[in-house]
Structure formats: C-alpha cells, structure tokens
Chains A and B, each alone.
Chain A
C-alpha cells in the first residue's frame, strides 16, 4: 500500500501506528518502516518460538488478468506458472533479457485468467514497467500496490492465533497455498507463505482496515505473547533461513543459477526472458556460486566485506550478521564453484584483518516439523 506524502519517503497505512507504539523507524528503499519494536533479538526469538506480526504493506502487488495472463507471466518469470493450481503460489524470478533478476517475487494463481504478483517495495514501479514493456500478449497488467496492505504473522503459534479471527479452515491451507476469506470481518487473501523460515501467513487486504487488523491480531495473540516486529528481525530470520534479498544476494547482475535458484529455473516450460542465456550458462557451468559461511571467531562478517581465499579476494559478503537462533555469526557470499564445498576455509576482511570463516550448507536454519 502506498501513500505518497512528503517528497520521497513513502509510508504504509500503519505508519502513525508504528510511531505511536514506539517503533524505531528506518528508511528502507524509500519507505519509512519499523526497524524494531522491542529489539531485534527478542523479536527474532518470538518468531522462532511463538509468533511475530510484521507490517509488510510496503511490498508491491501487480495483477495480471486476461485470457493470456499465463502467457505473460510465463514469458517474464523463470519458474513454471503453468504448474500452479488456482489457490497456489510459488517463488520465482522476474527476468531481464540477460537472465538476471529485475526482482524476485511470489506468483499467486487466483484463476486461469488472474495472477497476483507480490514484489519488492523498492522495485515495484520498475517491475511494472518491465512487465508492461514485454506484454505482447494483450494481457492486462495493473500496478496495484495502492490497493493492498499486507501483514505477515509468522511463527509456530501463528496458525492458532489467526484461527481465532476467522471461520476459515486455516489448517487445511497447505504451505504456499492461499484462499480468500474474512479475518476479523475483513475480506482478505490469506496465504500460507512467509520470509522467516517459520510456519505462518501473509494476509492481503484493503488498506483502510490496516489499523483494525493490526490491533485485532495483536489482541488475539496476547496469550501467546505475539509481538510486533520490524524489518531488522525480518532480515535476521530470512538470513538464517538462507533466503535471498534483492540488492544483496540477487540483482540485475546475478542469475538464478548462480544464486542457487536452479529449482525455480524451468527450462522445459518453453522460452522465457533470458532462457537461452541461462541454458548456455547451465551447460557451461556458473563462474560463481552463492554459499553460506560461519565465522570461526567472534567477529561479524557483514554486507559488503571482502571474501578472500588463500589471500586472494574472490567476492563480497552479500548479507552477514549474527544468527540469534544458532548463536554464531553467519553470512552468504559468492565464491568460485571450485571453492564452494562445505567445509572449505575462507577469510572475511574485517577492517584490514583476515578473519577465518568456513563454508557451510544452506539453509543455516530449518524449522523442526
């Protein structure tokens, strides 16, 4: 949901609520968003052990409609949307002609002639223009961010909390599926998706109900100590889960094959933007690969720090920081494939010093099932 206020900073419908409730705010990709409420560590722990509530209304929504909606989605994204059933969603990439990322996104199939794309806040206008410029199918594309607020309730107790506000059979919604129904009397798209590595839901609804749903959810989860969370915890949670963040692990210079996202790159679905280049890259092999690492002493390898192997700089840390759940410092980085095996020793350059680290398998954290 976008409300243009001052010159540059965009605000969600809950902006004044966040300020009133004492959130520490931060400019995130041009959006004035909560960085933290009670603190990143306690919010992170709440999501891993109970539940947390995130305002993610800055995320963009783009709707594709028409008889050839699927053709457009298939042409601009790398995953195979023809495999989606109505009420199902998947993770995908919006591709350039070079097979790199314009953005990463969730594709929701509402029905055969209607798809809802959830895209990154800072990219939504570029994404929309990109999709429109490649729409040779006569599909209708709508940049619909203004019509939606989005809340994410995440954590092992999210299901039982959300159940209290709806008569929908939430337990029967499988992971990466969604349904339409009322939450606290408000019509919502209720998706069992998330960006934390936990079970949970992301709900989409008209912005005028933002305040009501925010407060009703917090009240419904009071016994479970559901806490409001900011983007700080969202980042540490997704990092532990080994999930990519646009502008960090993926961007217009990286391909899904390099980023370990071969599983969303479906060559057998027919041609799509960049598919020939990606197929050639797959045949020849990638020249760099995204890996996870753990620091071997107490120092923290952060975003942008150089990665060295045997004294030679081979890349940069894409995201790095403390893992509150695993109690160690972790990160992701691109390294040459020959040096990407778990167990390999690397060094992170931290203020002029080479600090030892070790490559480990992704994801760092997998929730117990």
Chain B
C-alpha cells in the first residue's frame, strides 16, 4: 500500500527523496479521510518552506486540510495539473498527484520521519480508534 521508499509524517504527508530533491504529496489515508477533493492551493515556485509549517491546502467537499511540509527548503516545482484536476488526488495520491518538489536544505531531516511500516502501523491504529 504505502511505498517503501517514501517517508511519512503524522499529518499524512509523504516525501520521496532523490538526491537533494524531495517530492511531497498526501497519503492514501489522507485522501480517504478527506473524500472527494475539489480544490488545491499550492505555493509559488521559489517560495521558502519550513519543516512543520503549512505551505498549502487540499479541500474536499466537506473539509479544508492544511498541508504541512515534512522538511525545510525551497519550492522547485509545483504540480500545476492539479489546479484543473484536483480529483487526481483521490485516484493516485502516491503517484501522479504529487503536490510539490522541494530543494532540501538538509536531506538528513528526512530520517526523522516514519518509514512505510511505521506509518502503516500508525494509520491502522487510527482506523481502530475510529471503529471503536
């Protein structure tokens, strides 16, 4: 389910690191919780982003969800295809519906995040709390 080469946050973002570049998106669990996504607000290219701070939002019919950056750095690219087709986030959250690419200040920041196995355990616990 959750790609093994990604890292994950407790706020349900994922990051995939290649060299000094990180690709960020929201997880399948996050898109399921949100429901039908109808609007995405992304930062501008070259914007400075700090780890743990909100850099945009994903909105469904019912709710607004801030996106928190897993790392610090500079926005290198945004997925502008999502502006006209935000529903892609529901269909391919770990792939085509990535949100931004960020030039990492410190690639070591990523090692503090959950790996796929830890994240799976984390969301399983969440799901159990909800059905209880």
List chain A positions with a Cβ less than 8 A from chain B. Answer: 19, 24, 35-36, 39-41, 232, 236, 298-300, 302, 321-322, 324
Please report whether the interface of chain A is mostly helix, strand, loop or mixed according to DSSP.
mixed
Distance of A176 Cα from B92 Cα, bound (Å): 45
Kindly state whether residue B1 has any CB partner on chain A within 8 Å. Answer: no
In the complex, B64 has a CB within 8 A of chain A:
yes
Contact of A298 with B39 in the complex, beta carbons under 8 Å: yes
Instruction: Name the residue on B nearest A322 (C-beta).
Output: B38
Contact of A40 among B35, B39, B64 (CB under 8 A): B35
Residues of A within 8 A of B64 (CB): 300, 302
Interface: B59 (CB within 8 A) = yes
The answer, yes or no, to whether B62 is at the interface (CB within 8 Å) is: yes
Partner of B61, one of A19, A41, A299: A41
CB distance from B79 to the nearest CB of A (A): 16
Residues of B within 8 A of A299 (CB): 39, 41
Residue of B nearest to A40 (CB): B61
B35 touches A300 (CB 8 A): no
27 contacts between A and B (CB under 8 A): A19-B131, A24-B35, A39-B35, A39-B36, A40-B35, A40-B36, A40-B60, A40-B61, A40-B62, A41-B36, A41-B38, A41-B61, A232-B35, A232-B61, A236-B61, A298-B83, A299-B39, A299-B41, A300-B38, A300-B39, A300-B59, A300-B64, A302-B64, A321-B62, A322-B38, A322-B39, A324-B61
| Assembly CA distance A324 to B35 (angstroms) | 14
Q: Return A47 CB to nearest CB of chain B, in Å.
A: 14
Residue of A nearest to B64 (CB): A302
> Across the interface, which residues of B come within 8 angstroms of A41, CB to CB?
36, 38, 61
Question: What residues of B have a CB within 8 angstroms of the CB of A40 in the complex?
Answer: 35-36, 60-62
Chain B interface residue count, CB cutoff 8 Å, equals 12
Residues in B with CB closer than 8 Å to A36 are: 35
Contacts A41-B36, A41-B61, A232-B61 known; 12 new A-B pairs at CB < 8 A = A19-B131, A35-B35, A40-B36, A40-B60, A232-B35, A299-B39, A299-B41, A300-B38, A321-B61, A321-B62, A322-B61, A324-B61
Tell me the smallest distance from the CB of B93 to a CB of chain A, in Å: 15
Q: Which residues of B contact A (CB under 8 A)?
A: 35-36, 38-39, 41, 59-62, 64, 83, 131
- Bound Cα distance from A40 to B37, whole angstroms: 10
CB-defined contacts of B39 to chain A, threshold 8 Å: 298-300, 322
Q: Which residues of B contact A322 (CB under 8 A)?
A: 38-39, 61
Question: Nearest Cβ distance between residue B83 and chain A, in whole angstroms?
Answer: 8
Residues of B within 8 A of A39 (CB): 35-36
Do B61 and A35 have beta carbons less than 8 Å apart? no
The 10 closest A-B pairs by CB, nearest first: A40-B61, A41-B36, A322-B38, A39-B36, A40-B36, A322-B61, A232-B62, A300-B59, A300-B39, A40-B35
With both chains docked as a complex, state the minimum distance between the C-beta of B52 and any C-beta of chain A, in angstroms: 18
CB distance from A125 to the nearest CB of B (A): 27
Select the residue from B39, B62, B64 with max chain A CB neighbours within 10 A.
B62
Residues of chain A within 8 A (CB-CB) of B59 are 300
Nearest to B66 among chain A residues (CB) is A351
**How long is the Cα–Cα vector from A302 to B61 in the complex, in angstroms?**
10
Measured CA separation A369–B33 after assembly (Å): 37
Minimum Cβ distance to chain B for residue A52 (Å): 15
Residues from chain A with Cβ under 8 Å of B62 in the complex? 35, 40, 232, 321
The residues of A that contact B131 with a CB separation of less than 8 Å are 19
- Min distance, Cβ B55 to any Cβ of chain A, angstroms: 13
Complex Cα distance A40/B35, Å? 8
Collect the chain B residues with CB atoms within 8 Å of residue A19's CB: 131
Q: Which residues in B have their C-beta under 8 angstroms from that of A35?
A: 35, 62
Question: What CA separation (Å) do A41 and B60 show in the bound complex?
Answer: 10
Measured CB to CB, the closest approach of chain A to B38, in angstroms, equals 5
Q: How far is the CB of B78 from chain A (nearest CB, A)?
A: 15
Please report the C-alpha to C-alpha distance between residue A236 and residue B61 in the assembled complex, in whole angstroms: 8
Q: Which residues of B sit under 8 angstroms from A300, Cβ to Cβ? A: 38-39, 59, 64
Chain A nearest CB: distance from B125 CB in Å?
18
Task: Enumerate chain A residues within 8 angstroms of B61, measured Cβ to Cβ.
Answer: 40-41, 232, 236, 321-322, 324
B36 contacts which chain A residues (CB < 8 A)?
Answer: 39-41
A236 to B39, CA, bound (A): 16
